[in-house]
Amino acid sequence: MTDTELDIAWILREHGERDLAAAREMFPIEVARKSRKFHRQIPGYRTSPLLALPHLSAMFGVGGIWVKDEASRMELNSFKVLGGSFALYRFIQERLGIPDEKMSYEYLLSKEVKDRLGSITFASATDGNHGRGIAWAAQKLGHPCVIYVHAETSRRRIDAIRSYGATVKIIDGNYDDAVRQIAVDSAKYGWEIISDTSWDGYTAVPTWIMQGYTTMLAEAQEQFSAQGVVKPTHVFVQAGVGALAAAVTGYYHNLFGADAPICVVVEPDRAACLFHSAKVDDGEPHSVGGALDTIMAGLACGEPSPLAWDVLKETVDAFVTVPDYVAAKGMRIYATPLKGDPFIVSGESGAVTLGALVTIMQEKGAKALKEALRLDEDSQVLLINSEGNTDPVQFRRIIWEGSNPVPRQHWSERD
């Protein structure tokens, strides 16, 4: 359903009996434990904060807004490193047939592992954050790394990847072209692809990447318990290829079954491949093409990950698309908190879910969506600030210089 007065669009999913086979297979409960056990061994690992925004939630009429703040995750400014590092760990474990009892971060760094592995070049395409995480993890483990980026990737993002010793190549076209090219070149040069998106015959690594993300969710559950909250009632998650969103909904559906939080997936309107797949509604993932021209660089993906789609089609309650100014508004709200709420640094892809939530709570035209999602004073809404200031120039352009303003007809009328 869409509302022509609004720039946001949505599709509500009707679920009868949900088929959770894919979610169960990819996200059994013990996977989050395993992934967290691994991440805990990495020097510099800390649980990322779960921040409450009580004044903002009161202003917009929900019971609580909780932000899992990934801006400082292992100094990489984004949750993405959780997936890449766990995938490298599992890749080496499988390659060398190392039993669980023997696996540790320290063992991965050992001469024994290095000698048995020989020289491996890890490779990936990225729209920024994933490549940075892979470069970081490969450098830590002492392996070369090649990252392909698309032509529109900002220099700051490229420099950040290079700073971890990776070779970066710029590919003509968009993110999906970079993914295709790295597959071709890896076959040619014998590189090992560590991709967060999946394709026919390439599923093990993307599964490990999604599993790695569950560390963040296991942390959040512990943090909710400490606050006396059993679970969020709602989770808003931003999506590019859908791997993060699948990890979130897969995790919660395994943990809580029919009581899982209501899940809303948010995409940029110019790169809305999951929304489009839900619209076609034949059970298959569908691509959108074009320049994928959005300020939400991390979400500028035109092809869903088929593995992620298998989980999402059964577990998502609403697919929502928003224009760029909604993400910019989310960034500004995080950066100028109401008195008593914490200050949060959030990049374009990180802030879009707050922008979407506020739009849904505030715009008259979104009332039907708000009601269908049962967003009210009893709701405890989890948002993931999936990145901090990953592109400082763009960040200042939006926060200081006011680029991507909210159009006048969407200004708030509240006091």
Q: Which residue ranges make up the site for ligand PLP (CB under 6 A)?
A: 78, 80, 127, 129-130, 196, 238-245, 298-299, 301, 349-350, 386-387
Annotated catalytic, 80?
A: yes
The pairing of strands 145-150 and 234-238 is: unpaired
Closest residue by beta carbon to ligand PLP: 298
Q: How far is the CB of 48 from ligand PLP (least distance, A)?
A: 13
Q: Is 126 buried (19+), middle (13-18) or exposed (0-12) by CB count in 10 A?
A: buried
Catalytic entry in 127, 176, 196, 341: 127
Tell the smallest beta-carbon distance from residue 221 to ligand PLP (Å): 20
Q: Is the CB of 6 or the CB of 235 nearer to ligand PLP? A: 235
Alpha carbon distance 97, 242 (integer Å): 30
In contact, 12 and 1? CB cutoff 8 Å: yes
Which is the catalytic residue, given 68, 80, 313, 329? 80
Question: What's the closest the beta carbon of residue 247 comes to ligand PLP, in angstroms?
Answer: 8
Torsion of CA 136, 138, 139, 140, to 10 degrees: 90
From the CB of 117, what's the least distance to ligand PLP, in Å? Answer: 27
Give the helix/strand (H/E) hosting 391.
none
For residues 125 and 175, is the Cβ–Cβ distance under 8 A? yes
CA dist 288 and 267 (Å) reads 12
- Of 9 and 239, the one with the shorter C-beta distance to ligand PLP is 239
CB of 296 to ligand PLP, least distance (A): 8
Q: What angle do CA 96, 205, 89 make, to 5 degrees?
A: 45
By beta-carbon proximity to ligand PLP, the closer residue of 57 and 129 is: 129
CB of 265 to ligand PLP, least distance (A): 9
Q: How far is the CB of 244 from ligand PLP (least distance, A)?
A: 4
> Which one, 98 or 328, has the nearer CB to ligand PLP?
328
Residue 18 Cα distances to 23, 250, 306, 316, 360, angstroms: 10, 12, 18, 10, 26
Who contacts 415 (Cβ-Cβ below 8 Å, separation ≥6)?
Answer: none
Compare residues 127 and 341 and give the one whose CB is closer to ligand PLP: 127
- In terms of CB distance, is 233 or 238 closer to ligand PLP? 238
Shortest Å distance, C-beta 85 to ligand PLP: 15
For residue 119, what are the contacts with CB-CB under 8 A and spacing of at least 6? 143, 144
CB nearer to ligand PLP: pick between 346 and 380: 346
d(CA 278, CA 266) in angstroms, rounded, equals 13
Label residues 376-407 b or e (16+ Cβ within 10 Å = b): eeebbbbbbbbbbbbbeebbeebbeeeebebe
Taking the CB of residue 164, how many other CB atoms lie within 10 A of it?
Answer: 19
For residue 412, CA distances in Å to 173, 195, 292, 354, 406 come to 38, 41, 29, 15, 10
* Distance, CA of 59 to chain centre: 27
Decide whether 221 or 349 has the Cβ nearer to ligand PLP: 349
Residue type, 275: F
Q: Which residues are catalytic?
A: 80, 127
